[in-house]
Every structure is written in C-alpha cells, then in structure tokens.
Structure 1
Amino acid sequence: MSKKLFLLITIMLSISLALLGCGNSANKTSSDKNSGEEVYKLSFNVQIPATHKFHTDVVKPWADLVEKETNGRVQIEIYNSGALGTLATAYDDIKGGVYDIGYVSPGLHLDSNLYPLTIGDLPFGITDSGVKARVLGKLKDKYMKDAFNESTLLSISSTDSYQLYSKEPVESIADVKDNKIIVQGAERIETVKGWDAVPVSLGLEQIYESLEKDTVDQTTYTSVGALGLKLYEVAPYLTKIDLGATTLVFLLNSNSLKKMPDDLQKLFVEELGPKLGEMTGEMYKNQADSAMKEYGEQVKSQGGKVITLDGAKLKEFKKPSKKIWDAWAEEGNKKGYPGDEILEEFKTLIKDEGGALPF
C-alpha cells in the first residue's frame, strides 16, 4: 500500500470517528483544564427555532443558569427546530437516550404511563400555566408514583392558551365548517371534528408552510408561539377562543442523571428542573396578552385583525367538548386508572385554584 493511500485512509477513518462522536450527544464528558473537574454535557432538544420566545426567554437563559449554578460542571447543548427528534417521538427519545433533556406533550402519548397528565389538555380546561402546574402536580403525586423511571421528571408547565389562526375571518362556528384545521392531541382532534371541521395533525415545523401553500385553512396555536413562527405573514386573522394550554412535561434521561455526582443530581431534581418549569410558565403567562396585541398590529396592513367572540358564539365552540371530558374518564377506566375519580378531582382542583369549568 502506498504512503499516500495509507494517509488518505487514515484521514477518512479519523473523520468518520469524529462524526460518530458528534451523533451521540447524550452525556459526553470532559475535564476542565483549570479545575480538573469532570464537565457533563447534556443535549436539550426543543421543537422551536432559535428566534422563538421560548428559546430566547427560557431555554437559553436556563442553560446559562445551569452552567452558572454548577460552576461550569454542567453544560447544556441546545438543539433547535427538533433537530434530534419530533414532539411525537419525544417520550421514547428521552427514555432511549437519543438526547438527554426535552419536553413531552402527554396528549401525543396516550398509550404511555403519562396518561393521567393528558387530562390537562382537555379542551377549554385550564388556560393558566400556574394553575395547570399546581393541579397536575397534585394529580401526579396521587396517581403516578411509579411513572418516572427511565426518564426523570424535572417539572410540569404549559404554554399559553391556544387560539385559532386563519386565512379568512372566523366570527362564528359556521366559519370553520368543512375547513382543514391543524391541531395536535387526541382531545383537540375530537374537538375540531365536533365543529364539523377537518382536523389535520402536523408538527409545529409544518404549520407556516401549510398555511402559506393553502394546504390547510386554519391552525390552532398559542399567541406567543404564533409570533415566534411569524404566522401573521400567512394567517391574518386571530380568533380568541382559549381552547386551552398545552401541557409541557420536562424530562431528563435517568441514565444521564445517574452519571452525574450526587450533588449535581440533587441540584437538578430539587432546583434546576423546577426552575425550568417555572420560567416556562411565567414567560407564556406574562407575554400572552402582549403577543396577541402585537399579532393584531402585524396583520393590520393585510386587513387582518384579532376577533373576540361574544359569550353565545364562544359557547357554540365549547359545546362539543363536554362529551370529550366524559370520554376521557371512560378511557382512563379502561387503562386501569380510576378515571371517573381523577376527572372529578380535576374539576375540584380547578375550582379550588379559582378557575371556572367550561360546562
């Protein structure tokens, strides 16, 4: 073998090994040259782009906080736009170590042991992120004691409430009939069907393009998220329906956690994890109203506007959801949970927190 060929093969093998190393992002460690301490690198997969408020106001500041509070011993590597996996596969991806940290929408994992938390996404239920965190936290403590093994629960939070975005104005339930509407989660899919509309399940990364290309007519999404995706460019009408906030369950791969020293494990479980949920809830809650207002400003030049429905018209949107709440309890019973009991406790906790039931 010639020296040139041998050198070429050596270079190619080196590059291949480097690429393989990059692909396995979970919990790679190195030593800090100054302190000699081990540095733990944790991959954090998020579904939104780096321009989104969730990234700029929560994920990046939290990553910086982790590095500060651990004195540089833990570094968070952020992967935007679902680079390491979609929201639909997030639960299995985190458990399997595809990446270390991520968030899960329980409504996309109905057959998992997260089922009790799917109650938080019942249509027209909880719209306040703080209320949702407290209510679901209590239900989790009572009904999900053995649910988190392969993945460790960091915190429970939520987005702001989902609204309806459209290419044409929606001023009554008649304006959505037979329209194709992007929606995620089984309960919301059934809600859209109850409106005599056509639910379309697409990922967040597909919303803008689908509206732009007229593949769909409308979408449901949060007001903060809609600004982040610049939906005002393709959907000039926002109808305020407060469909409900999406539950976000932040998880850390348990093996990744166990690789860290006891003091860091304790810090993540007791302080840093809860702080991530707190930051998320505060951001969405504090910016929801201003985001809706800004959306209205952005669509003025297109003749668009923010539409607020009166009580009677909003009631028509809520009406089909009553049977979905009852169906949730029935399904819970089939899955071996005390579904009826959980639903009644859920309603009681909402009222205890000062909230109102939709029916």
Structure 2
Amino acid sequence: MRKLILTALATTLFASVSAVSQAETINATVVAGHPPVFRWVRLVPEVFIPSVNKQLEGTEYTFNWDEQYGGSLAKVGDETEAVEEGLAELGVISSVFDPAKLSLQNVSYYTPFVSSDPDIVVETIDKLHDDNPKMLETWLENNLQYLGAPSGIDDYLLMTTFPVNSMEDLEGKKIGAPGPAVNWLEGTGAVGVSGNLTTYYNEIKTGVYDGVIVFATAALPGKLYEVAPYITKVGFGAQYAGSLAANKEWFDSQPEVVQQALLKAGDDFKAAYLADLNKAMVASLKAMEEQGATITEVDDAFRKQWADGMDNVAQTWAAQVDSEGKAGTEILKAYMDAVRAAGGAPVRNWDQE
C-alpha cells in the first residue's frame, strides 16, 4: 500500500512540475508619468500587481512585470500614447492631462464646486463606465481597454505665496492648474497657466507661478507648503483624474482568466485607493500646518461668488464635445444627476442653466 501511495505522489509531483514548467509567462510593461510617491502610482505595485499575481496562482499563467514610473518611459500626459502604440501593455492614464482624447472622462473637471467627497465623485464616474457605453468608447477609440482602478482626487485647494482674503487678492496673479482646471480661474482676475505636479515646486520657487490649484494629499509629498505656505480651502471639489488601462489589442489577445484577473485587480485598486485617500486627506492638511503652512477656508458667500463669476464652463465643454460627435450633454446631465442622487450639494447646477 505504501508503495502505491508513493507511486501516486510521485506521479502527482511529476504532473505539477510539468505544469509549472509549461506555465506561460506574460511580459507586461506598466507605465506612469508620475513617480510612485503619488498614490495613483504607488498602489500599482502595492495593490494592483499583487492582486493580479494572486488571482493567477494555480493557473498556467504568470506575469513578468516591467514597471516604468516617474517619466522613465512616458512623461505625464504621454501615457495614453505609450499604451495605445504598444510601447507599454498597461498604463496609469491621467485623463486630466489628455482632455482631447479622453474628453468624457473629464466631466468632473468642468463641473467644479459640485462635491468635495472623493467617494461620491469616483464611484459616480466608475459607474458611468458601467451604465453608459459611450464612456467606454473614448477609451476604445484610443486602442485602450478600461480596467477601472480610478484615480480619485481629494478636494482641490488654492496654495499661494500670498494670503487670499478676497477675490481682489488674485488680480494679476499667475496660478498653475492641471489641464481643464485652468478654467476655474475665469472671472477671478488671476492668470491661469496649465501645469502639473512634477513641475509645480520649482515653478513656484522661481516665480513662474504665484500659486497653484492642487490637492492636499499631493501637496504634502510634493512639499509645496515650503514654497506656497498659504493654503486656502475654496471647495473646488474632488475629482476623477484617470484610470488604469491596457493596450486593447494586447488585452484581447489574453486568455479570459488573465482578462478577469486584470479587471478584478482594478476593483481591488479602487477599494484600496479610496480607503487610503480618506485616511490621508485630514492627515495631509495637519502635517502641512505643522510644517508652517497657514490654512484658511472661505465662507459660503466667497465660494458662491467664485462659482457664479465663472462662465458656464460645463455647458461650453458639453457643446464642444457634442460637436465632436460625442455625448457631452448626455454625460454632463448623467454625472450631475448621479452626484445629486448620492447626496452631493452643488454650489452651482451647471447642467440646469
């Protein structure tokens, strides 16, 4: 009997070794323009990649990951092209820096003062991808497969080299802002300049900018409080800024078990991201204050004055997107309706004017 058992064990072991030896290794490069000090990049090696690896345990597939972060393969805003053209199989796509190619994904950036809750904004945008196929079309047009893993941004702040007590304080000041957020400065008297986190510190330090529109959880690791110590909580709102995506042709060529692992890992990334973000928001403001920053918050009248003084950038954006044959007006209404239904209280109902 013992001999039979040993023979059976040997046969099983041989089969297992053979299966492992025949396992297919999938080479995949994942790219991000930002460095891993930022959450939307850091959680790729911490959550997304381990989730994919874990799900594929016991299958015949394993991944060999090549991680290219911090602009080593593609700079901020160039990730879309890098993945689209197959230079990388996956990428952290910053849709906020690619508003022409990923127009519908930027709806939250054209609707400021809507909700400061990143959970509401992120879940709403992610669900729109499930409920409205037109949201996915913009990815597919660029040979990209949406994987979820949305990058949510906490409530945007104004960080400046000078105190802001009234709208008049902004007159003539040069303020850096990401992509479409430059529109938030219309009507304030400030001069909006398009920029991104990788350059803000030096541009403020050298006087190119007098301040920036940024969020606390990135301002802290970026040490922006050292050069822009005046933090004004205006209530611009939380935002959706991008997602993980894969090269569509590469994704379609993968077996279903691998595709499902990638999509499930996107969900795991989202859950971990929001949990981490919510913990970090308060801590980041506290840490910057402890490092010498001065934090103030505008009152409701100031916030409403700012919002009402802007052109209706949402309607302008929607009309432009409509003219390109995409569903700008439809997505604007769907987004605003969903935010209101989730408990958001917009300072200005952009879709209803």
> Which bin holds the TM-score, normalised by the shorter protein?
0.7 to 0.9
Counterparts of 2:345 and 2:296, CA distance in 1: 22
The structure-2 alpha-carbon separation of the partners of 1:293 and 1:352, relative to structure 1 and needing over 3 Å to count, comes to same
SS of the residue corresponding to residue 309 of structure 2 reads helix
Match of 1:144 in 2: 135
What percentage of aligned pairs have identical amino acids?
Answer: 22
Aligned ranges for residues 151-190 of structure 1 at < 5 Å? 151-155=144-148, 156-186=150-180, 188-190=181-183
1:115 to 99, 103, 109: 103
Aligned to 2:70: 81
Q: Which amino acid aligns with 1:115?
A: S
Aligned length: 321
SS across alignment from 1:131: helix
Long gaps (5+) in structure 1: 1-31
Matched ranges for 1:1-359 at <5 A: 35-56=21-42, 59-71=45-57, 73-112=62-101, 114-122=102-110, 123-140=112-129, 141-142=131-132, 143-149=134-140, 150-155=143-148, 156-186=150-180, 188-244=181-237, 245-269=239-263, 271-299=264-292, 304-321=293-310, 323-359=312-348
Q: Mean Cα displacement is larger for which, 40-49 or 214-223?
A: 40-49
Secondary structure at the counterpart of residue 74 of structure 1: strand
Q: Is the 8 A contact 1:250 1:277 kept in 2?
A: no
Q: Is the 8 A contact 1:40 1:260 kept in 2?
A: no
CA distance in 2, matches of 1:153, 1:57: 17
TM-score (ref. length: structure 1): 0.81
Measured at CA, do residues 326 and 179 of structure 1 come closer, stay the same or move farther in structure 2, by a change above 3 Å?
Answer: same
Give the CA RMSD over aligned residues.
2.5
Deviation at 1:168, TM superposition (A): 1.6
Instruction: Give me the whole-angstrom Cα distance separating, in 2, the residues matched to 1:298 and 1:78.
Output: 33
Secondary structure of the equivalent of 1:44?
A: strand
- AA partner of residue 288 (structure 1): M
Inter-CA distance 103–125: structure 2 relative to 1 (3 Å threshold): farther
Rounded to whole Å, the distance in 2 between the matches of 1:145 and 1:51 is: 29
Q: Secondary structure at the match of 1:342?
A: helix
Gaps of 5+ in 2: 1-17, 349-353
- Partner SS for 1:272: helix
Name the CA distance, whole Å, in 1 between partners of 2:170 and 2:298: 14
Which deviates further from its counterpart, 308-317 or 135-144? 135-144
Counterparts of 1:169 and 1:278, CA distance in 2? 37
Specify the code of the residue in structure 1 equivalent to 2:210.
D
Q: Residues 76 and 318 of structure 1: is their aligned pair in 2 closer, same or farther, counting only changes over 3 Å?
A: farther
CA offsets 1:71-90 (integer angstroms, 9 cap, x no match)? 38124333232221123222
Moved over 6 A (4+): none
Deviation (angstroms), 1:353: 0.6
Partner SS, residue 182 of structure 1: strand
Structure 1 residue 33 displacement after superposition = 11
Assess, with a 3 A threshold, how the Cα gap between structure 1 residues 125 and 93 changes in structure 2: closer, same or farther: farther
Tell me, in whole angstroms, the C-alpha distance in 2 between the residues paired with 1:341 and 1:54.
28
Describe the superposition over 1:29-85 as per-residue Cα deviations: whole angstroms up to 9, x where unpaired. xxx996442222322222333334444455433323333332381243332322211
**2:152/2:241 contact within 8 Å kept:** yes
CA distance in 2, matches of 1:339, 1:54: 26
The two structures have a TM-score, normalised by structure 2, of: 0.82
Tell me the SS of whatever aligns to 2:71: coil
Measured against aligned partners, the alpha-carbon deviations of 1:109-157 in whole angstroms (never above 9, x if no partner) come to 3332x32222122222343232223322343332335344321101134
